[in-house]
Chain A
């Protein structure tokens, strides 16, 4: 094993660290041609193979964060290779299942989405549960059709039906309404040093160049998470006279401040903190397409009633702190303005990226130097310029998902990557829309 590593990486042995993807590429090639359908032209794994199969299912980055570092030690590299080769038979079977699904997709005339993106994880699952596709073609076709049906309509559909059934009982709605009333009343203002909290938030936005600085930053975050200030801010946004440095209206969290007690059934403005309990549950069901196990619908509804009443609409204190952290970041971002000077290295680097991405649009003749190139783009360009709203809305949705699935945000590095990832995904969204507005067939 070690000889493999050394022959491939004479240059890297000096530092004993290796680029992660290079490690994966080398190990992957040992699997041979049977995984060709999951490989690129050069024999390495496709990027989608890495993202959809290897990272979540073979390396299981959620458990093994050390396998996910951009640069890994020779020791970790060895462990990754072992892990990958241990899955050789499954990966070969996975490739065979992909061939089956791809062929059935064509036969059934399914055109939605990207086959690799949609089918890779389920092919792996089939490989684990059933091994390689059986010799009996009828049996294989049946399995494939069932899986395709599930992906293209199933699952989510059934959960939504279950929700509708559950809500058809008026007593269910009445119980939820009573629960909301009680939970909302339970949330009360308390003493908290909000100003100090926001000051200290800056320390987790500083760059950390060594281990010690990173540890200090992590400790600062841990202290912010248990601080009462994020909770308190979430209470203050419910009062017309609540002392908060921003307006939840300007942030796009409510159509009109202050935040009102959520309703159970009604359709709302669509703003995160205005949403009714049922709207939130529906959003969870929509986002959980990739999940195997979904909480039972009645439990989901009852939990959501409490969550909707919690400060910032989030139960976990680390997620409340993360939302406030994100707001502090968001109000400093201006993708279309070169003169903005954010107050920390972290926010400055996000701002610099957004500026560069706006420049790409200009270089592609999709935007003028700093604004719309065509009147049709004005609205979406306006949104891009007022970045905080879409940013905070997107962040809230991510945190809501984390709250439902009980995924914590107690690691500051993870929080930082979440906060910059949200900026990226909002920017990407805007760029797609800006592009679409210049398609001649699109009507403004």
Chain B
């Protein structure tokens, strides 16, 4: 494959799809990227510091490693190198694990169980140690302590699973301390499948509809990742003392764990647009918001609400088709777990009664 300078950095490999379809790993002196649902084994490699990338010879051979270092120093035009994608396959698995940690489309509505993050993190810790010769020990992706922290919160039934027990034992050999069970924070990201509450049209509803929460616009683990989980309605509020009724846009999202408020839901921006009308607000910890619309009740009844759009979070995020593609990928892994599936995935698959 040919290394050339792109956007100021030496890179090689086919372009990858944008997030959320890309699994990214930061190794020493380089960033590796794979499109998650494509079979192509070779990553896109971007060198951020060729001198620090002291593992290159393991992948491209010693001769090509030397040529690359010389080319970068001499600012040459391009270098052809052979890539041993096999040497990178554990790194791809690690990248995929990190991807799952952030983009796994857990949804009660879609029947995709959440991954037990403590289990996945512990697997990532072990995998990181196994490929330590590629990782920068001070970098983003080499933080073992953070990865094993969750083991303190493993629920007892999970601990009893022999596969999980083996994982915990293996982690005790890591160079960082593994916390004792029951010492961690009380909050947990995993939850049982619970159906989301359906909101029913109440009296005084002028218009109502649904919308989807785009994943890239919000932090992971806060919302149910299904489509059309957001319900909105335009209602009139009864004001005391005979004041004219106010027109309010009500927004309700479905949280990842619908049984409890989520601290990160609070403060997330909500935007409602309908024709020339626009209102902004913030969700509360229950994932709900009331937006005040600057409109008289009679005008609200006359307004055409058909084109109403509600957006949650930052920016417009990815398309519905992209989310569908991610779900297809994840479902295919759950239905027929590949040989190198993570234990966290197997547990999720078993959870799908």
List residues of A whose CB falls within 8 A of some B CB: 9, 11-12, 14-15, 17-22, 40-42, 44, 46-48, 51, 70-71, 110-117, 207, 209-210, 345, 348-349, 351-353, 355-357, 359-360, 362-366, 368-369, 371-376, 417, 420, 424-425, 428, 431-432, 435, 438, 440-441, 443-444
Check A22 against B215 for contact (C-beta < 8 Å).
no
Residues of chain B within 8 A (CB-CB) of A210 are 74
| Interface 1/0 per residue, B243-259 and A, CB below 8 Å | 00000000000000000
The A-contacting residues of B in range 237-293, CB under 8 angstroms, are 262-264, 267-269, 282
Check A19 against B74 for contact (C-beta < 8 Å).
no
Given contacts A40-B133, A368-B314, contact A362 B57 (CB under 8 A): no
Chain A, residue nearest B102 (CB): A365
Cβ-based interface call for B348 (8 A): no
Q: Which of B76, B175, B263 touches A115 (beta carbons < 8 Å)?
A: B175
- Given A364-B102, A369-B216, 12 other A-B residues pairs in contact with their CB atoms under 8 A: A12-B66, A22-B65, A47-B28, A110-B177, A210-B74, A351-B8, A363-B24, A365-B19, A368-B315, A420-B49, A424-B49, A441-B185
Check A441 against B31 for contact (C-beta < 8 Å).
no
The A-contacting residues of B in range 100-148, CB under 8 angstroms, are 102-103, 130, 132-133, 135, 137-140, 143-145
- Of the candidates A40, A351, A357, A373, the one having the most CB atoms from chain B within 10 angstroms of its own CB is A373
Given contacts A18-B66, A365-B220, contact A47 B9 (CB under 8 A): no
Residues of chain A within 8 A (CB-CB) of B139 are 428
Q: Which of B8, B26, B49, B185 touches A360 (beta carbons < 8 Å)?
A: B26
Chain A, residue nearest B314 (CB): A368
Q: How far is the CA of A142 from the CA of B218 in the complex (A)?
A: 53
Check B48 against A440 for contact (C-beta < 8 Å).
no
Residues of chain A within 8 A (CB-CB) of B55 are 21
Chain A, residue nearest B67 (CB): A15
Given contacts A47-B137, A372-B314, contact A19 B66 (CB under 8 A): yes
The A-contacting residues of B in range 273-321, CB under 8 angstroms, are 282, 313-315
Given contacts A114-B176, A420-B49, contact A46 B140 (CB under 8 A): no
Residues of chain A within 8 A (CB-CB) of B216 are 362, 365, 368-369
Residues of chain A within 8 A (CB-CB) of B144 are 114
Cβ-based interface call for B91 (8 A): no
Q: Which of B24, B66, B140, B217 touches A368 (beta carbons < 8 Å)?
A: B217
Q: How far is the CA of A368 from the CA of B315 in the complex (A)?
A: 7
Residues of chain A within 8 A (CB-CB) of B176 are 113-115
Q: How far is the CA of A194 from the CA of B105 in the complex (A)?
A: 57
Complex A-B, nearest 9 residue pairs according to Cβ-Cβ distance, in ascending order = A352-B8, A111-B177, A11-B63, A21-B54, A368-B314, A365-B102, A19-B57, A363-B24, A375-B267
Chain A nearest CB from B53 CB (Å) reads 8
Chain A nearest CB from B65 CB (Å) reads 4
Chain A, residue nearest B180 (CB): A111
Q: How far is the CA of A21 from the CA of B50 in the complex (A)?
A: 13
Q: List 30 A-B contacts (CB under 8 A).
A: A9-B62, A15-B66, A17-B66, A19-B56, A19-B57, A46-B132, A70-B50, A71-B65, A113-B176, A115-B175, A117-B137, A117-B175, A349-B8, A352-B8, A353-B9, A356-B48, A363-B19, A363-B22, A363-B24, A363-B33, A365-B103, A368-B313, A373-B219, A417-B51, A420-B49, A424-B49, A428-B139, A428-B140, A438-B220, A443-B263
Cβ-based interface call for B7 (8 A): yes
Residues of chain B within 8 A (CB-CB) of A357 are 26, 31, 48
Residues of chain B within 8 A (CB-CB) of A373 are 217-219, 313-314
Cβ-based interface call for B20 (8 A): yes
On chain B, the number of residues with a Cβ less than 8 Å from chain A's Cβ atoms is 72
Chain B nearest CB from A93 CB (Å) reads 20
Cβ-based interface call for B192 (8 A): no
Given contacts A360-B140, A365-B220, A428-B138, contact A440 B264 (CB under 8 A): yes
Check B219 against A374 for contact (C-beta < 8 Å).
yes
Given contacts A352-B7, A360-B31, A374-B267, contact A440 B135 (CB under 8 A): no
Check B140 against A207 for contact (C-beta < 8 Å).
no
Residues of chain B within 8 A (CB-CB) of A375 are 267-269, 282
Residues of chain B within 8 A (CB-CB) of A112 are 177
Q: How far is the CA of A113 from the CA of B174 in the complex (A)?
A: 12
Q: Which of A17, A356, A371 touches B9 (beta carbons < 8 Å)?
A: A356
Residues of chain A within 8 A (CB-CB) of B70 are 17, 71
Given contacts A40-B132, A363-B19, A363-B24, contact A22 B189 (CB under 8 A): no
Check A42 against B48 for contact (C-beta < 8 Å).
no
Residues of chain B within 8 A (CB-CB) of A22 are 57, 62, 65
Check A365 against B66 for contact (C-beta < 8 Å).
no
Check B140 against A432 for contact (C-beta < 8 Å).
yes
- Of the candidates A110, A112, A345, A362, the one having the most CB atoms from chain B within 10 angstroms of its own CB is A362
Chain B nearest CB from A319 CB (Å) reads 23
Q: Which of B8, B51, B175, B263 touches A70 (beta carbons < 8 Å)?
A: B51
Residues of chain B within 8 A (CB-CB) of A15 are 63, 66-67
Check A356 against B31 for contact (C-beta < 8 Å).
yes
Chain A, residue nearest B282 (CB): A375
Check A70 against B54 for contact (C-beta < 8 Å).
yes
Residues of chain B within 8 A (CB-CB) of A424 are 49
Given contacts A70-B54, A374-B267, A440-B264, contact A19 B140 (CB under 8 A): no
Check A348 against B187 for contact (C-beta < 8 Å).
no
Q: Which of A11, A14, A348 touches B8 (beta carbons < 8 Å)?
A: A348
The A-contacting residues of B in range 72-111, CB under 8 angstroms, are 73-76, 98-99, 102-103
Residues of chain B within 8 A (CB-CB) of A364 are 24, 98-99, 102
Check B140 against A48 for contact (C-beta < 8 Å).
no
Chain A, residue nearest B70 (CB): A71
Check A19 against B175 for contact (C-beta < 8 Å).
no
Chain B nearest CB from A335 CB (Å) reads 13
Chain A, residue nearest B268 (CB): A374
Chain A, residue nearest B33 (CB): A363
Cβ-based interface call for B221 (8 A): yes
Cβ-based interface call for B181 (8 A): no
